[in-house]
Structure 1
Amino acid sequence: MQARSTGNLVDRKVGLEGFKFPWPFPKSPSSFHKIKSHLTIAAVASISKLLFAPGLNKLVVHNKQRFMDYWKDKSRPLITVSNHRSNIDDPLMWSFISTKEMWENIDRHRYTLAAHNICFTKAVHTTFFALGRCVPCVRGEGVYQKGMDFCVEMLNQNGWVHMFPEGRVSTEPLRCKWGIGRLIEDAAAPPIVLPIWCINMSSVWPTQPPYYPRFGHEVNVHIGEAFDSKSVLDEMASKKDWSVLKRRKFITDAIQTELFKLGEKVADLPSGTAKRILEENVNENL
């Protein structure tokens, strides 16, 4: 599909260099590549768990079985979306997955977009993050960049893609980027969308330097109700006159509302936040 200039104008003005390395994901991964990837995923997961070892910090997950059921169900593509309050929400947020559960389902571990100018600045970093299933995302290149295309391909294989739809770390809720709308509309089968809300993650890994772990804190990970994207796609089916941008925003707004309503439900956002952000970002020109 032809690339389109749909990136954020502010991002484009920064003048960042695009992704400069060969694409790190082979079209047909060899057995050796899969082994390296699995070992990288397992190693990162094990290190992340150390931060929540007894006596250091406490991780409390709510509705874990709901997540496990959808993770194990390979009949539909899965998209998880979460708020983004710490630089390393991912991988820390997945520390509730036991080592046994990880190895049993490692073939379907998540792919997630990661900033190219942070995670992919050197060849060795590119190899490492790609083996850990982090996908380069170039700010300003829009929703039709290669990393997004790759995520659609993974969804078309009924894989799992995790998104931070707000687009960056922030202490306040932000309007969700439209990339999530593109993934849902372009996937071959309507994905299941599972919202997740993390509370207090920045207390164990701060967003400002010095960057080192803190101890004595409790982090809560709330797994919300699943959202079947087929419902919103069916609702759009009769909107033949809608532009691509309007369709994409409609889908994104639906996911954004589900995510922020979860934040309200777990008392981390003030009541009415989801509605307020929706009303503040009405665009009649699409």
Structure 2
Amino acid sequence: MGGRTMEWAARANHLGGLPRKVVITAIGTFAKVVANLLNTTTVHNGDTLIRLVRSRPAGVPLLTVSNHMSTLDDPVMWAFKGFPICDAKLARWVLAAEDICFKNTVLSYFFRIGKCIPITRGGGIYQEHMNEALDRLTNGAWLHTFPEGKVCQEDAPIRRLKWGTASLIARAPVTPIVLPIIHHGFEKVMPENYAFGRRPPVPLWNQEIKIVVGEPMEFNLPELREMALSQSRDSSFSSGQWPRNILGGLDEAAQKCLYMTISDQIRTTLENLRNFSKSYAKVEQ
């Protein structure tokens, strides 16, 4: 893992920021072509996302969470009309699967300057690069995660979420604004089983992409911590392997209760948004 994580390439001042500008502009242009020329993209409540990306309070991080329909979700979901997708400063950081995006030196460099953070699937919520993600939030940046952890192309309820996103919300010094997003259509633009069980070599066209942006979620963390402490006294979650210094002395059982509660809140919100998006789509037709 070591040599391919290339943290130096992720720095804003790497080569004067030029590689990042070039890559973000190129990727943004590609995403706009896929979203608006090859396909039709409609967005509900996009202004909320644009406002939070452009002008949230200073020092307050933004954490967007969404379902995961295809390998194209990011960046194409940011390519709807009016969104500043080619602005390297405003562009999101995103957690990206190490085994897909960081296979070799060239890919690693490309994704690093494109503001991607490598995550090892199955590496646990306290793996090294989760600390980098936490640093981004600490600096007031915008981070996007797919808390389901992998692509799911069925029209099915949101699955149980991985706890990594919840742990970032709980550990961030300033609680991030958490914005849920649901989208449909990417599973048709980049189907996983297109030919011989493989994805198509290029994005498909003449499809409809629908993006529904929710409202910011509120998390009362002091209250949630107290709740987790009292719940954990009755549980047998602990294996004694999680660090106690992570969350002000919460033991492993309490941390797990806390992350489960936050994850359930996000999952419920995403599922409600998914149901709303279906009724919203019917009204539009």
- TM-score normalised by the chain length of structure 1: 0.80
Shift of 1:69: 1.1
- Alignment partner of 1:181 is 2:160: no
* Alignment partner, residue 132 of structure 2: 150
Count of residues in Structure 1 that have an aligned counterpart in Structure 2:
246
Shift of 1:266: 1.2
- Alignment partner of 1:94 is 2:86: no
* Alignment partner, residue 218 of structure 2: 228
CA separation in 2, counterparts of 1:264 and 1:89?
19
CA separation in 2, counterparts of 1:152 and 1:83?
21
Identity over the aligned pairs, expressed in percent? 31
Quick check: 1:78–1:193 contact (8 Å CA) kept in 2? yes
Partner secondary structure for residue 228 of structure 1: coil
Is 23-32 or 200-209 further displaced after alignment? 23-32
Q: Which amino acid aligns with 1:79?
A: L
Partner secondary structure for residue 125 of structure 2: coil
Partner secondary structure for residue 124 of structure 1: helix
Q: Which residue of 242, 266, 273 corresponds with 2:277?
A: 266
Partner secondary structure for residue 96 of structure 1: coil
* Alignment partner, residue 215 of structure 1: 205
Q: Which amino acid aligns with 2:274?
A: G
Shift of 1:74: 4.6
**Structure 1: runs of 5+ lacking an equivalent:** 1-18, 269-286
* Alignment partner, residue 241 of structure 2: none
Shift of 1:207: 1.6
Q: Which residue of 93, 108, 124 corresponds with 1:111?
A: 93
After superposition, the C-alpha distances for 1:116-170 in whole angstroms (9 at most, x for unaligned) are: 1111011011000011111111011100112211110000001011010000001
CA separation in 1, counterparts of 2:104 and 2:16?
19
- TM-score normalised by the chain length of structure 2: 0.80
Shift of 1:108: 2.9
CA separation in 1, counterparts of 2:68 and 2:199?
19
* Alignment partner, residue 35 of structure 1: 18
Shift of 1:188: 0.6
In 2 relative to 1, CA 67–210 (structure 1 residues): closer, same or farther, beyond 3 Å?
closer
CA separation in 1, counterparts of 2:73 and 2:66?
9
CA separation in 2, counterparts of 1:206 and 1:23?
28
Quick check: 2:185–2:209 contact (8 Å CA) kept in 1? yes
CA separation in 2, counterparts of 1:142 and 1:39?
33
**Structure 2: runs of 5+ lacking an equivalent:** 233-253, 280-285
Shift of 1:250: 1.1
CA separation in 2, counterparts of 1:206 and 1:258?
26
Q: Which amino acid aligns with 1:125?
A: L
CA separation in 1, counterparts of 2:34 and 2:11?
35
Is 244-253 or 122-131 further displaced after alignment? 244-253
* Alignment partner, residue 84 of structure 1: 68
RMSD of the TM alignment (CA)? 2.1
* Alignment partner, residue 283 of structure 1: none
In 2 relative to 1, CA 120–97 (structure 1 residues): closer, same or farther, beyond 3 Å?
farther
Shift of 1:53: 3.9
In 2 relative to 1, CA 210–157 (structure 1 residues): closer, same or farther, beyond 3 Å?
closer
Shift of 1:25: 2.1
Quick check: 1:191–1:228 contact (8 Å CA) kept in 2? no
Q: Which amino acid aligns with 1:155?
A: L
